[in-house]
Amino acid sequence: MFDGLKDKLSGFREDVEESTEVEEEAPPEAEANAESGAVVEDDAATADAAAAETAETAEVEETAAADPDETGSDDEPSTFQRAKAFATGRIIIEEEDLEEPLWNLEMALLESDVEMSVAEQILDSVRESMLGESRKQVETTGELVESALHDALVDVIAVGQFDFEGRIAEAEKPVTIVFTGVNGVGKTTSIAKLSEWLADRGYSSVLANGDTYRAGANEQIREHADRLGRDLISHDQGGDPAAVIYDGVEYAEANDVDVVLGDTAGRLHTSDDLMAQLEKIDRVVDPDMTLFVDEAVAGQDAVNRAKEFDDAAAIDGAILTKADADSSGGAAISVAYVTGKPILFLGTGQGYDDITLFDPEELVESLLDEE
């Protein structure tokens, strides 16, 4: 999952390591010893090295004290800072070290369908984390790059994240969840999957078919309900979606059912009549959550639609289907940051068990895992 994006992030790590690579030269004394075949005792060599390092550090500190202009600014390392770092066996990462790698990272993110403002936020965060940071010359920058990427990615992916199961547990029953999105993205199947996910955690649910617009919608959701052994509330085609979901709530209250899962017709945010239906559902039913469903493979289109639906109908979170088929990862990276509302679940296959609670930290770790 998201293998293409993972490869691109790995490429950024390699770019930075190459750009900050320092060619170490052997000290003249070491070369002379090597040529003459002399052997230096480890303890003596260590002591001499420590004394040399102390002397060099003292020298650059005296230079800085004599020349206050060498102190530099907050954004740019001073000559003294660079000299001190070098004298103590370290280097400082500067803007020129990151310029090309960051450009390559930006192109890689955009090619992976990451939304522009999200890519810019990631770049700014990585730049801020790494500029002026020092590392030992004998170490790679891999850990520093990974830490900067980790923090930048988590910051954008985890926006608005909340404990979905905790909210279900604490809410007054029945909990009503309404699903919305465009046609053909797996909305009805996601409802069935979530019903099974809830059942695995001890919560009962009833399905309510508020998609009274589409021919065959009742048959589709009834097939899922029958397979799962769930009750289904439905009306004839052309009925009032708000009335169907309201009936689902009343059924749940009368039968001690924990959660009502309400389907709605697929729509575009520009479909005035269908958007008015959502507004009526909000007024009549007052759902506890409205979840937006789209395909992860839709990439930038999914990000744009999530924003448009949130602007039109105030979603509480998103489910991305077909995540297992998505190499780019742009939607998973971008949706939460763009809408301010979290991704809650990923659909990862065709079975009813193929739905995964979204964990930003876990996703970022998998993207940065080199194995």
pLDDT at 284 over 70: yes
CB 295 within 8 A of CB 304: no
Q: Is 349 annotated as a binding residue?
A: no
Percent of the chain with pLDDT over 90: 42
Q: Is 348 annotated as a binding residue?
A: no
pLDDT at 174 over 80: yes
Q: What pLDDT is recorded for position 17? A: 66
Q: What pLDDT is recorded for position 13? A: 67
Q: What pLDDT is recorded for position 215? A: 78
Give the tens place of pLDDT for each residue, 288-322.
999 999 999 988 899 999 998 888 878 999 999 99
Q: Any idea which of 96-100, 112-116, 366-370 has the lowest mean pLDDT?
A: 96-100
Q: Is 186 annotated as a binding residue?
A: yes
Amino acid (one-letter) located at 188: T
pLDDT at 249 over 90: yes
Q: What pLDDT is recorded for position 188? A: 94
Q: What pLDDT is recorded for position 32? A: 45
Q: Any idea which of 59-63, 336-340, 364-368 has the lowest mean pLDDT?
A: 59-63
Q: Is 266 annotated as a binding residue?
A: yes
Q: Is 33 annotated as a binding residue?
A: no
CB 174 within 8 A of CB 253: yes
Distance between CA atoms of residues 314 and 369, nearest Å: 35
Q: Is 188 annotated as a binding residue?
A: yes
Nearest to 331 by CA among 320, 315, 317, 344: 320
Q: Is 63 annotated as a binding residue?
A: no
Q: What pLDDT is recorded for position 90? A: 54
CB 109 within 8 A of CB 122: yes
Q: Is 265 annotated as a binding residue?
A: yes
Percent of the chain with pLDDT over 70: 73
Q: Is 88 annotated as a binding residue?
A: no
Q: What pLDDT is recorded for position 213? A: 80
Give the tens place of pLDDT for each residue, 137-159.
435 556 777 888 899 999 999 99
Distance between CA atoms of residues 290 and 307, nearest Å: 14
Q: Is 182 annotated as a binding residue?
A: yes
Q: Is 212 annotated as a binding residue?
A: no
Q: Is 322 annotated as a binding residue?
A: yes
Nearest to 157 by CA among 339, 368, 322, 354: 339
Stretch 93-98: mean pLDDT, rounded?
Answer: 70
164-359 under CATH 3.40.50.300, yes or no: yes
Mean pLDDT (the chain, rounded): 79
Residue 370 pLDDT class (50, 70, 90 cuts) = low
Q: Is 6 annotated as a binding residue?
A: no
Q: Is 11 annotated as a binding residue?
A: no
Residue 42 pLDDT class (50, 70, 90 cuts) = very low
What are the helix (H) ranges across the chain? 3-19, 28-36, 42-66, 79-87, 95-111, 116-130, 142-157, 164-170, 187-200, 217-228, 241-254, 272-285, 300-313, 330-339, 360-368
The CATH superfamily assigned to 3-26+41-157 is: SRP54, nucleotide-binding domain (1.20.120.140)
Q: Any idea which of 138-147, 229-238, 303-312, 335-344 has the lowest mean pLDDT?
A: 138-147
Q: For the chain, which residues make up each domain, given as ranges?
A: 3-26+41-157, 164-359
Stretch 11-36: mean pLDDT, rounded?
Answer: 54
Q: Is 321 annotated as a binding residue?
A: yes
